[in-house]
Amino acid sequence: MKNINQILKEEYSIQELMEFVTRLSQYHRIQGSDGIEEAGEYIKETLRGRSGWNVELKKYSYSVQHGSFDPVVGWSVRGGELRLVKPREELLHTYKNSRTHIAAHSPGGVVEGEVVHVGNGTSIENYEKMDVSGKIVLAYGYGNIVYKNALMKGAMGVLIYRRSGTEDSVPYMGLFLTPEEAKEAKIPAVTVSRSTANKLIQLIERGEKPIVRISVDAKYRVEASIPVVTMKIGNLESEIHLTAHYCHPAGTVNDNVSGSAALMELALSFTRLIEKKILEEPDKHAIRFIWIPEYAGSLAYMLNEKPKAVFNINLDMIGERQELTGSTINFVKSPPKIYHPYEAITYYTFKRNLSLSEEIGSPRSVLSYRFDLTPYQSGSDHDVYIQLWIPAIMILQWPDKYYHSDQDTIDKFDPTLAKIIAIAAGESAYKISRKEFEEEVKMYAKTYFHEYIANELQYTNMETVNERYRYLINVIGEKTLKTAEDEYIKALMEKSGKQEYVEEGEKYIYRGPIGNLSERAIYRAIGWKKYIEMEKNAEKTPIMSRIMSVMIPLYMRKPMSINELQRTILMEFGVKVEREVLEKAVEILIEAKILEKV
């Protein structure tokens, strides 16, 4: 049998990978911008020009809603800067040096005024403690909400900073305005480093009333396209999807030029190997490579094209120098109910590829990088597959001290690690796609059954660990036995028994769009004041946001009582949520007409 790993290693070019990273990172790849359209064209033309097969560029409109992804205004930016005018002249930031400086989707304009510091800009109460009318607001918090609050209170401009990350990095933040919201957007917004924010705060505290000038050269576009590039290997209906999003500011690399460029070289490696007859085409599932603007592209593609995807491997931030960024390679699993045994061979392939160091006194190799198996977490395009009940895993390097900032630069990128991860993804997908590797798939499925369950139980409260253990044996066992016969797993399932659960109470059903529910969809439905109130409650109970945005859209597409929802969250995620929290979440979503009583 062919050594797929060795074959891919020999074909995969680090020089080409670095070329793709360098070129792709030059585009200002903001959603709705002309830059992301240019980047999509670059990916398409590069793949076609280098013998990529079945390469397509599909375009969808940003002006319409795709699942839970709201419309985004078309936008173009050419430059901008922030200058301190009083008490002294000083250039603070420029778009030329930090493409993250102009908040994505900010209107253009030049304003000069006094800076007032409101602190948490998402709290409306902070604006009521001072007069911000005709002034420039300095605040931290989620960009869209900070901007809306400042605009409503009559501010003339907005400076947004972040309390996390390195002190001198300029953060990336987006307003993600809809075309309708953009009509009301009249004030420019820029981001500043925490060191710049502290400098302005110190001037304010000394009573010096700093005056700054914001200059933004940007304009809105009538129409913008969501460019999705795909390349398919194999003429089969069912597909394995390898995805990477390529949006975000110019100059930034790890998020996620790293995944996109690595996937480009992997796709081209496969076409070269098949053309040279070193590898054969898939005969079980086709392999489709997909490059997307995050969420917008995956939702638009999946909902419009309706491909028969059976498994997704999503690559997001995959080639980081761990000693610089402080990150760990996270293998993010599917939730139990959506699990597929294809995850097993993928996990062990990644672990083997990352194990390059020799043990003392043993021929075995051990992990050479920080690597962790992680229960399902949201935050990238694998979410779209999960919300469609298609099994998906994500490879993510996290945490990253330079995340979403102008310091996410090429010097933090490790091409050797990016190659290792890409090859592991390619090897996994290829073995799943070929019938000749079915026995290997079955072997890993039986082994991973225990690893999956043990990993989930690490994150389960001891009060419920036995109940959840029985639940996982049945759910993961049933899915495993569909792929591979195993008497031990059968015996475990029989011993654990079927859990009986009596459903009680009124039932509700989710009527919202497919995909993770955005906070903006909620505040548009319930009104700004009620939304701000909801955010205050969410600060006290952080899981509230995840329940409303991820768990309810995922599990309540069939009628479900609050008691059943409570138990589903406990069994699927190992988290015990108080009934009062769930009642509040249900109440909010009923008012938003997203949930409906059955």
Least Cα distance to 262 among 281, 248, 276, 242 occurs for 242
Q: Which residue has better confidence, 478 or 518?
A: 478
Distance CA 577, CA 554 (A): 17
Confidence of residue 538 (pLDDT cuts 50, 70, 90): confident
Distance CA 374, CA 35 (A): 34
pLDDT at residue 105 in the model: 98
In the chain, the amino acid numbered 527 is G
Going from N- to C-terminal start, the domains of the chain cover 4-32+39-52+225-440, 74-221, 444-496, 507-597
Evaluate if residue 504 carries a pLDDT over 80.
Answer: no
Evaluate if residue 7 carries a pLDDT over 80.
Answer: yes
Evaluate if residue 15 carries a pLDDT over 90.
Answer: yes
As a whole-number percent, the residues of the chain with pLDDT over 90 amount to 90
Fold of 74-221: Glucose Oxidase; domain 1 (3.50.30)
Evaluate if residue 296 carries a pLDDT over 90.
Answer: yes
Confidence of residue 522 (pLDDT cuts 50, 70, 90): confident
List pLDDT tens digits, range 16-61: 999 999 999 999 999 999 999 999 999 999 999 998 789 999 999 9
User: Kind and range of the H or E element at 520?
Assistant: helix 519-526
Confidence of residue 347 (pLDDT cuts 50, 70, 90): very high
List pLDDT tens digits, range 408-438: 999 999 999 999 999 999 999 999 999 999 9
Phi, psi of 466 (to 5 degrees): -65, -40
Confidence of residue 205 (pLDDT cuts 50, 70, 90): very high
pLDDT at residue 568 in the model: 96
Omega prior to 171 cis, within 30 of 0: no
Q: What is the DSSP letter of 67?
A: T
Fold of 4-32+39-52+225-440: Aminopeptidase (3.40.630)
User: Kind and range of the H or E element at 525?
Assistant: helix 519-526
List pLDDT tens digits, range 299-346: 999 999 999 999 999 999 999 999 999 999 999 999 999 999 999 999
Evaluate if residue 70 carries a pLDDT over 80.
Answer: yes
pLDDT at residue 365 in the model: 86
List pLDDT tens digits, range 74-104: 999 999 999 999 999 999 999 999 999 999 9
Half-sphere exposure of 567 (CA within 13 A, CB side): 13
As a whole-number percent, the residues of the chain with pLDDT over 70 amount to 100
Phi, psi of 481 (to 5 degrees): -70, -20
pLDDT at residue 359 in the model: 73
Provide the CA 69 distance to its chain's centre, in angstroms.
Answer: 13
Mean pLDDT of the chain: 95
- Give rounded-to-5 percent helix, strand, coil for the chain: 45, 25, 35
Cβ contact 72:224 at 8 Å: yes
Least Cα distance to 28 among 358, 293, 310 occurs for 293
SS3 state at 120: strand
Query: What distances in angstroms separate CA 192 from CA 33, 205, 213, one per listed residue?
Result: 21, 18, 13
pLDDT at residue 533 in the model: 76
Evaluate if residue 8 carries a pLDDT over 80.
Answer: yes
Least Cα distance to 185 among 176, 193, 194 occurs for 176
The structure's pTM equals 0.97
Distance CA 157, CA 254 (A): 30
pLDDT at residue 204 in the model: 98
Other CB atoms within 10 A of residue 171 CB:
25
Confidence of residue 536 (pLDDT cuts 50, 70, 90): confident
pLDDT at residue 523 in the model: 80
DSSP per position, 7-27: HHHHH--HHHHHHHHHHHTTS
Average pLDDT over residues 433-451: 98
Least Cα distance to 105 among 138, 79, 72 occurs for 72
List pLDDT tens digits, range 553-578: 999 999 999 999 999 999 999 999 99
Evaluate if residue 473 carries a pLDDT over 80.
Answer: yes
Alpha helices in 114-245 (DSSP H): 124-128, 143-152, 179-184, 194-205
List pLDDT tens digits, range 237-286: 999 999 999 999 999 999 999 999 999 999 999 999 999 999 999 999 99
